[in-house]
Each structure stands twice: as structure tokens, then as C-alpha cells.
Chain A
């Protein structure tokens, strides 16, 4: 089938404002969903789920959140890891302190707490912009690092902030196997990706983008920077916070503050920049890239070394990983500063003209 929108005339604004106006896109998304919900559970093995798919799903959710703030609203953050931590530890506290609170509610409350903290740390964005703001967001990172390491109340008096959860279940469904975990994360991500897409295509999304592109003009149009920016911080932190809760509860089961260090924050920012700023799709691309790259390097480097008769030690692999990872990031920024999503859409545009370019 050719990729074309010719002939798909829209007879109403409602049809034109569908979530995916082009029929082929709708089919593609449907296909991906079917594959994710049915195909992968049938085909995938436990290792694949545990090592790649579950981290991918959760980090995609976090990347979505970061993209809302950085890509859509134009407020650079270097502190996203902090909000994962807040989400995870808040959910943990709700989980252990309130007897019988359903798991879903704990995670959502973790997200809401993270949103509130996000609003507080978003206040500097009303006064400073750009790189200054980026540095200011590091404050959130170092502050939360300290809080969960040093204030025992938040970690139920666990030493050095390491906590664990067990017996996770939702209405009798026990989440134990990688398959359960995969399904849980997949459903969660699907729902929230849909919500994110809806926000970015309605009034609130336009407010964010207006602030990003030209804040003075946005204000003149009647957009309040205070509301637009802080709502972006809140929504973003909510997404990132629930991702943190999922990361702790579902992926790790037991964790300490180092799981959400400044490295995690950088990693999330890489995802959205490599994936594509201001693109929902890009968040997924970025997460996929960052999750699979180290695993791929880990597999291939020793193999390549073997070809040349060199054995590369584990330490050697991890150093080489750093070097290759860093170089790839630079390479990517040089070749396609707008991210994988841009490659994707130029590809589609070409396809649209194919086979008769004119």
C-alpha cells in the first residue's frame, strides 16, 4: 500500500483533528499495538523482557515527561532523575504507611507528589531562562539525592536509603513474572502516551509551545507564563514521577537513591534530544536507542575484539562503552540535531512522494 494522504479528503474539522489524520499512520499504530500486546508476549523470552523491554517501557514514560517540559515547553532540565526519585520514594511511603492502599493508587500518588515538588522547583523558570535554568534544575537533583540518603523518615529508617517492596498485586493479579511486569508497564505507558498526545494537540500543548517559541508574543496573546510553565513542570514531573515509581516497584523491586542519580537525569535528556525534541514518537525512539546501545556494545565489543585476537576485559568494555557512547552522541548531534524523529518524518515525506518525486 502506498503512503499517501491524497484522496483522503476530510469533510469535517473533526475528521481533520483526529489523533492520526492519515489512514496509514492509524494502521501502523494499530499494528504496533497489536504486536506489543499479543506478538511480544507470545514470542519474547524472559531475558528480553527483563533486560530490554521493561526498562524501555518505563524510560519511555520518563522520556515523554521530560519531552513535555524540554521539547514542548522549552524549559531545559538537568534534574529529571530527581523527580523519578520523588515518585519512587513517595509511592513507597504511601505503599508502606497506608495499609491496604491499592498499588495503582500508590503509584499515582507518587506521581502527584512528584508533580507538586516539580512545581516548586519550576519556580525559577519564571525568572531565568535557558542554560541558567538548566543549572538551576540541578538543585532539585542534589537536594533529593541528599534527602533520601540522609533523612531516614523518607526511607522508613532504612540505612543509606535502600528500600524494597514485595507482593505487588492489582485486584488479585499478582505481578511477579517478567511477563506480568511487561504487561503492566505496557498498559500504563499506552494510557499515558495517549494522554500526552492529547495534551500536546490541545490548548494546553499550544500554550507550552507558544512559550517555547516566543514567550513575549505568547503573553501578548493572553497566555500566562506562570500557568503555562508551572503546568508543564507539573505534568512533566507527574510522568517522570510515575516512571520512577514503576522503575522502583516493578523493575528493581529494591533500590537506593543512586538509581536516580544525576547520570539518570542526563540519560533522560539524551533520550529526548536524540529521539527528537517536541515529538511524542521521538521519546520512544530515544528511549529505545539509549536502552539498547549499552547492551549492544556489551555484546559486540568482546566479539569484535575476538576477531582481532584481543580479549577485552570487563573493565575495558565499560571504558570503551563510555567512549563509544559519548562519540555516538556527538556524532548524532552533528548529523541530525533534530533527532531520530526528524529522520523519521523526512523519510515519510519522501515516501509520500514516492515513486513519483516532483
Chain B
């Protein structure tokens, strides 16, 4: 691979998050380096999704801080995170059900829109020009993900596998520097999984996008990730190269203990 793994760009320090009495995350620290594929694994309910939610500000941790490219945040918010180049997909697909594929992906261009409401209402000058530019960009993503045939389909009518792909497409349309993927391959058949793996690797390789990935399929994780962090009951029980993690006795026992 041609890509070079760079410096730490995202660093979580001692993050704790609780919902009422439920401790979702307890004193978690971990970092992500530029251009790497960083996997998060762990049994159901371990706090993986919560971690992504903390990174892009959907959940506000009670303690800890997030350092993004040297800037300290005690609390992120989703808008700030988006501005900073973080985009993501969701474990339970969160597409905009009432819109078609193109429009869903066009929303990903929202931060880059410069024209104002009046110009858009008049479909005039900059508004019109922008619409075309962004459409062209979205079409590139559509080509990349090989979903040309469904571009005008309302997303609610698509099968699950394709919805996941559109979800990824919407995140990609943002041209993110960091991409958070929450179980992008869950519930897919083998062929769909292979496609998705290929997309993840290509994104990382071609665009240099840093990827944080939650995934259950161990074979996939060991195969494509550079470093892996393991959570169990909201605590970090392992962190390192795939081989190190696989050999970690605590990880093995967590995985033997939890059936899934």
C-alpha cells in the first residue's frame, strides 16, 4: 500500500459517559493516527457506538476530553465535528426516508453550500451553479460506490444492503478527513461484505481518509485494520496491532464469555 500512516490526529483522553445509572464508557483513552484504519471491537453493549457518538458530539461525555488536530474539546457537538471533517455512518441506518438516493447524498454537501435562501428560491446565479457542481461531485461518489442504477429511487424502497451503501455514500459526499463507520457490514451476505470491504480499503487508499471502524466479523477486522481497540462493559481491555490483540488473554476471555 502506498499510504503512509501519519501523526495522531484524534485523541480521546479519559472519557467517561453514563446514562442515568448505566455506565456506557468508563475512563477510555485511545488515539487515531492520520490515514490509518482503526477498528473498535467488543461484545454487544460494550460501548462501541457510544464511543463514535462521543467523537462526533452526538453524546456528551461527563468526563474527559477530545483532542482533534491539536485542538481541545471537552464537549464536541455534531455540527462542529462535521465542520472539522468528521463524517459517519450509523449502525441502524439513518437515511432520510422521504428522499431519493441523490438527494440523500446531496445533503452531505450541505456544509459546502454558499448560496443563500433567496438565491435558492430564485434558482438564480450561484445557487444554480452550485447545484450543478455538487451534483457532479455526488455523481462521482455514486460511480465510486457503483449505485448508478438506483440514483433516483426513494431510499425507503431499497434493500438493506444498498441502504447501507447509500449511507456510506452520504458520508463520503462530505469529503471527510475522518470517517466513522458503525458496523457497516452487519447483516450483509458474503458478497455484499466483500464489496463493502473493498470500498473501505479503497476510500482509505485513494483518498487517504482516516477510518474508525466498528465491526463484529473478526476475520474482516484482522484483515483490514491497522490497529484495534477492544471494549468490554465500557472499559478498554486491549489496544494494539491485530496480532497483539488476538493474543491478549483478557480479550480472549471476554470473547469466550460473551456469546454472539
Contacts and interface: CB of A to CB of B under 8 A. Distances in A.
A122 B198 CA distance: 45
Nearest to B97: A213
B83 A204 contact: no
B94 A214 contact: yes
Contacts of B103: 206, 209
A143 to B, nearest CB: 27
A322 interface: no
Interface in B53-73: 56, 58
Given A203-B113, A219-B78, A198 B121 contact: yes
Nearest to A220: B78
Contacts of A209: 96, 98-99, 103
A223 interface: yes
B108 A221 contact: yes
Interface residues of B, number: 39
Contacts of A16: 135
A203 B136 contact: no
Given A209-B96, A222-B174, A217 B123 contact: no
B94 A222 contact: no
Contacts of A205: 120
A19 B81 CA distance: 34
Q: Which residue among B98, B115, B136 has the maximum number of chain A CB atoms within 10 Å of its CB?
A: B98
Interface string B78-114: 1101110001101000111111000100111111010
B127 A221 contact: no
A212 B115 CA distance: 22
Interface in B119-161: 120-123, 127, 130-132, 135-136, 139
Interface string A194-236: 0110110011111101101110111111111000000100010
Contact of A13 (B78, B117, B136): B136
A190 interface: no
B90 A217 contact: yes
Contact of A217 (B79, B96, B122): B96
Contacts, number: 106
A218 B107 contact: yes
A203 B135 contact: no
A13 B98 CA distance: 22
A239 to B, nearest CB: 11
A17 interface: yes
A209 B174 CA distance: 18
B170 interface: yes
Contacts of B99: 206, 209-210, 213
Nearest to A234: B117
A220 B87 contact: yes
A206 B107 contact: yes
A219 B79 contact: yes
A221 B110 contact: yes
B110 A213 contact: no
A14 interface: yes
Nearest to A277: B98
10 contacts: A13-B136, A202-B120, A205-B120, A216-B58, A217-B96, A221-B110, A221-B174, A222-B78, A222-B82, A235-B117
Interface of A: 13-14, 16-17, 19, 195-196, 198-199, 202-207, 209-210, 212-214, 216-224, 231, 235, 278
Given A17-B131, A220-B87, A221-B82, 13 more contacts: A13-B135, A17-B135, A202-B127, A203-B106, A203-B115, A204-B120, A206-B99, A206-B110, A212-B96, A214-B94, A222-B83, A223-B79, A235-B117
Interface of B: 56, 58, 78-79, 81-83, 87-88, 90, 94-99, 103, 106-111, 113, 115, 117, 120-123, 127, 130-132, 135-136, 139, 170, 174
